[in-house]
Amino acid sequence: MTLVTAIPDHLQVERIIPASTPANYEPPFPAYSAQFAKDVSSLVMAVIGAQFPGKTGKEEAAISKVNSFLTFSGEAGEEALGPAFSEWAAVTDPKGYYNITALAYWKSEEAYQRWTTKSGFSSWWESLDTQEQENGWFLEVFFPTMDRFETVFSSGEIPEGAAEMRDGVVGPIKEHVYWGSMRDRLAIAQTDTLKGEEFLKAPAEQAQNGNLSRRIRVPGKQNLAIIRSGQDWADTAPEERKLYIKTMHPVLEAGMNFLRDHGDEVGCYSCRFMDIVDPITRNADKDRTFGLAYFDELASLEKWSREHPTHLAIFGGFLKYAAQLNNVITLRLFHEVLVVKPEQQLFEYVGCHPETGMLVAK
C-alpha cells in the first residue's frame, strides 16, 4: 500500500517540531483526509442553534426561520450565497433543554460575511430581543485557515462536514491510528506547539447572572481546539448494526456524557453528543451521530483520547468490534479538528441557559 502524507504539498514546510509517526510505520487499516484546492485558504463552520425548554413542536418555526436565510440565493445570475453545505442536528442537554442546530459550512470567510449581510441573517440576529423570543438562540462560528484544520475518514468515498466541499481525497494516509497522529495531520503543528490558554471555568454565580434574558458574547481563546467526531451506521447489515448499538453506542455515549458533565477535569468546555435529524421528518432516525466538543487546547484533547478510561473504552471497544467482524466494517467514522486563534471564533448566546456552550468559560 502506498501511503501519502495528510498535509497537502502546498502547506508543507520544514518541520521545527518532529512528527510522532513511528519509523517504517504501516497503519493496520486505511484512512483518508479531505483535499482542498490550493486557492482555498480558509473555511467557515457555523453552528446556529435554537434552544427550547423541551421538545414541544415549537422548534419548527425556528428551523424555518434559519432555513429561510440558509437557502437565500441572491439575485438572479449572482453566485449562490448560502452555505456550500448544511445539515441539522439535535441534542437534549442535561437541563432538559432541546437544542436544534444547523451546521453550515462556507469555503471562505468572505463568502460567509457576504451571506450574513445579503441574506438578512445579520440584521435579524442583531435584532433578536430576548423579551420577545420564546426560545434561546446561539451562534458559534469558526474561521480556521487551512493550516489549522484537519480531517480523518475511515471511508474515502462518503464525505461529511467540511469535506462536503472537498476537491478530492488524500490517502491512504500515513498519519493515523498512533497517538499524536491528529497533531501530525495539522499543517500548523509543523512549527507551532499550539499552546492554549489556562482552562478557566466561570464561577457558578457568574454563570447564574447569564440568565435567560441576556445576549452574551464570549471572547475567543488562543488555540481553542474544536472536534466534530462522527459515526454513521446507516449502511450496516443487521449483524453489524446490532453489534454497534449493543457495544459501541453505549461506550461512546458514556464518553460524551463524561466530557459534557465533567469536562472541566480534562480541559473540555463543552461537549454535545448530537443526532443528525432528517430535514423533512425532523426525526433523529438517520443512524448518524457526532460529538462536538470544545477543548482549551489540542494537548487536552489528545490527553483525554490517549489516557482517559472513557475514550480508551471507545478505542478498545472498536478493536474488539473490528475483530468480531473480521475487520469487514461498514460503520463509517470521521472527524474534523480545528485549532483556532481568538479572532477566528465567534460565540454569541441570546436568552440561553447558563450552561450552554462556551457560556461556562470565564
Write down how long the chain is: 362
Nearer to ligand HEM, 282 or 308 (CB): 308
Nearer to ligand HEM, 138 or 290 (CB): 290
Min separation Cβ 106 and ligand HEM, Å: 23
Is 291 an interacting residue with respect to ligand HEM (CB under 6 A)? yes
C-alpha cell at 344: 477566528
State the Cα–Cα distance between residues 46 and 141, nearest whole angstrom: 4
Is 177 an interacting residue with respect to ligand HEM (CB under 6 A)? yes
State the Cα–Cα distance between residues 327 and 344, nearest whole angstrom: 40
Min separation Cβ 293 and ligand HEM, Å: 5
Catalytic residue among 176, 311, 335, 353, which?
335
Is 231 an interacting residue with respect to ligand HEM (CB under 6 A)? yes
State the Cα–Cα distance between residues 118 and 112, nearest whole angstrom: 10
Among 38, 73, 134, 179, binds ligand HEM (CB under 6 A): 179
Is 19 an interacting residue with respect to ligand HEM (CB under 6 A)? no
Min separation Cβ 21 and ligand HEM, Å: 11
Whole-Å CA distances, 357 to 54, 207, 222, 226, 346: 17, 12, 17, 12, 12
Q: How many residues bind ligand HEM (CB under 6 A)?
A: 23
Among 155, 190, 236, 305, binds ligand HEM (CB under 6 A): 305
**Residue 240: count of CB within 10 angstroms of its CB:** 18
DSSP state of 145: B
Among 101, 119, 223, 229, binds ligand HEM (CB under 6 A): 229
State the Cα–Cα distance between residues 96 and 105, nearest whole angstrom: 28
294 φ/ψ angles, rounded to the nearest 5 degrees: -115, 120
Contact 141, 135 (CB under 8 A): no
214 φ/ψ angles, rounded to the nearest 5 degrees: -120, 155
Tell me if residue 335 is catalytic: yes
Residues 143-172 that bind ligand HEM (CB under 6 A): 152
Catalytic residue ranges: 335
Instruction: List interacting residues with ligand HEM (CB under 6 A).
Output: 31, 152, 176-177, 179-182, 227, 229, 231, 248, 252, 291, 293, 301-302, 305, 311, 314-315, 318, 333
